[in-house]
């Protein structure tokens, strides 16, 4: 009988709650306004011939690299950041290796690492969701081959200074250190152009959030040219489809649209913080797209009822997450 690999059999099936979606599900952190009209116009201009051909990623990759101030050899377009994470795990993880993540965080790091047979080491974020730098550094050992840092983090919105992942990368030269900047636009700080970026440090970006293109599945993985050549060996030459490639340059050109949306989200963050203050709930300022952590004391039941008050119809807050002693929410 055909059997899946042991590592795959031990994975839990991951089912994003897509079924029965009515209206917006803000917990996916999608854009609430959709993509730029210029992107839509470009998509409408596509003809049958452009879809009949296999997509040519490289010209768009060059354009993106240019936009980011990097060489084309340092940039790989991916099928969303999800694929970037998958590719890094396939390139660097052997069964039995260790992958370190700081929890709570985005689910896909653990899933892709486990699928390769790696052991996922979870380090709990500190008080106030602070990055547990010392605990993380203490866990690094020769088996550590991947460390993923979402900056800002999902679902807490917490961000770290660039110096932190740099320190992590220097402490683990045998590990691929991923700085996932999926929410970069809402934060404004990046490690991408840092002059001292070590060769084992990778940066991921997405067009799913601020650019409103989650449905097209486009992301960027950037890193040292030599390392990226290794990652490229694992990627399909056609991993990004022709529709996404057609849309991407237009999405890059319409920065004004992104800036306007980011300003709106930042305003929403301030409204949410005000709501937390009004309700007397503890909150942590977020650097992401409207996340706000509330780690308030009391029973789970009491926290739930606090969050339910936040979700009252007049408050435009649609979804909350629950941890063991914290909750996170978004506003639109
Ligand atoms: C931190 C983080 N990274 C990556 C992703 C996925 O990005 P993409 O849509 O480009 O695969 C998400 C989506 O929620 C995320 O929160």
Give the domain 37-254 fold: 3.40.640
What integer pLDDT is reported at residue 141 of this predicted model?
Answer: 98
Taking only the tens place, the pLDDT of each residue in 26-36 is 778 888 889 99
d(CA 116, CA 15): 19
Nearest to 283 by CA among 244, 255, 320, 249: 320
What integer pLDDT is reported at residue 321 of this predicted model?
Answer: 52
Quote the ligand 1 centre to 107 CA distance (angstroms): 9
d(CA 332, CA 63): 32
Q: Is pLDDT at 163 greater than 50 in this prediction?
A: yes
Quote the ligand 1 centre to 205 CA distance (angstroms): 9
User: Do the Cβ atoms of 65 and 75 come closer than 8 Å?
Assistant: yes
Residue 16: band (very low, low, confident or very high) from pLDDT cuts 50, 70, 90: confident
Taking only the tens place, the pLDDT of each residue in 96-136 is 999 999 999 999 999 999 999 999 999 999 888 899 999 99
CA 39 to mean position of chain CA atoms: 22
CATH of domain 256-331: 3.90.1150.10
Nearest CA to ligand 1 atom 4: 81
The domains of the chain are located at 37-254, 256-331
Helix axes 300-310, 255-279, angle to 10 degrees: 130
| pTM attached to this predicted model | 0.90
User: Do the Cβ atoms of 157 and 284 come closer than 8 Å?
Assistant: yes
User: Do the Cβ atoms of 328 and 303 come closer than 8 Å?
Assistant: no
Cα dihedral sign, 102-106-107-113:
negative
Quote the ligand 1 centre to 2 CA distance (angstroms): 32
What integer pLDDT is reported at residue 289 of this predicted model?
Answer: 73
If one residue of 27, 105, 106 were mutated to test the ligand 1 pocket, choosing by the most ligand atoms within 8 A of its CB, it would be: 106
What integer pLDDT is reported at residue 322 of this predicted model?
Answer: 53
Quote the ligand 1 centre to 49 CA distance (angstroms): 31
Ligand 1 binding pocket, CB closer than 6 Å: 29, 80-82, 106, 150, 154, 180, 182, 206, 208, 214, 219
d(CA 265, CA 296): 24
Q: Is pLDDT at 228 greater than 90 in this prediction?
A: yes
Residue with tokens 């008050």: 309
User: Do the Cβ atoms of 77 and 68 come closer than 8 Å?
Assistant: no
Q: Is pLDDT at 316 greater than 50 in this prediction?
A: no
């Amino acid at each position: 009988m055909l059997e899946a690999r042991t590592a795959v059999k031990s994975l839990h099936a991951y089912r994003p709650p897509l079924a029965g979606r009515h209206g917006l599900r803000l917990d996916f952190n999608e854009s609430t306004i959709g993509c730029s009209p210029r992107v839509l116009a470009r998509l409408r201009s596509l003809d049958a011939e452009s879809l009949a051909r296999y997509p040519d990623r490289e010209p768009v990759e060059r354009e993106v690299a240019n936009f980011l101030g990097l060489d084309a050899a340092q940039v790989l377009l991916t099928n969303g950041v999800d694929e970037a994470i998958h590719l890094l795990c396939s390139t660097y993880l052997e069964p039995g290796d260790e992958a370190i993540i700081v929890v709570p965080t985005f689910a896909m790091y653990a899933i892709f690492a486990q699928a390769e047979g790696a052991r996922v080491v979870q380090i709990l974020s500190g008080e106030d969701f602070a990055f547990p730098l010392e605990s993380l550094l203490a866990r690094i050992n020769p088996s550590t081959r991947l460390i993923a840092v979402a900056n800002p983090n999902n679902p807490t919105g917490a961000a770290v200074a660039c110096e932190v992942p740099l320190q992590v990368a220097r402490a683990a030269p045998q590990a691929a250190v991923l700085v996932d900047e999926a929410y970069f636009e809402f934060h404004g700080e990046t490690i991408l152009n840092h002059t001292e970026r070590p060769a084992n440090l990778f940066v991921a970006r997405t067009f799913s959030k601020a650019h409103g293109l989650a449905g097209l599945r486009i992301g960027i993985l950037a890193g040292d040219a030599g390392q990226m050549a290794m990652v490229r060996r694992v990627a399909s030459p056609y991993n990004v489809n022709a529709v996404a490639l057609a849309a991407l340059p237009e999405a890059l050109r319409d920065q004004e649209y992104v800036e306007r949306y980011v300003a709106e989200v930042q305003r929403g963050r301030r409204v949410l913080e005000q709501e937390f203050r009004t309700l007397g709930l503890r909150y942590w300022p977020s650097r992401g797209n409207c996340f706000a952590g509330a780690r308030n004391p009391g029973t789970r039941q009491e926290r739930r009822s606090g969050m339910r008050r936040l979700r009252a119809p007049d408050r435009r807050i649609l979804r909350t997450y629950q941890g063991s002693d914290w909750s996170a929410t978004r506003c639109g």
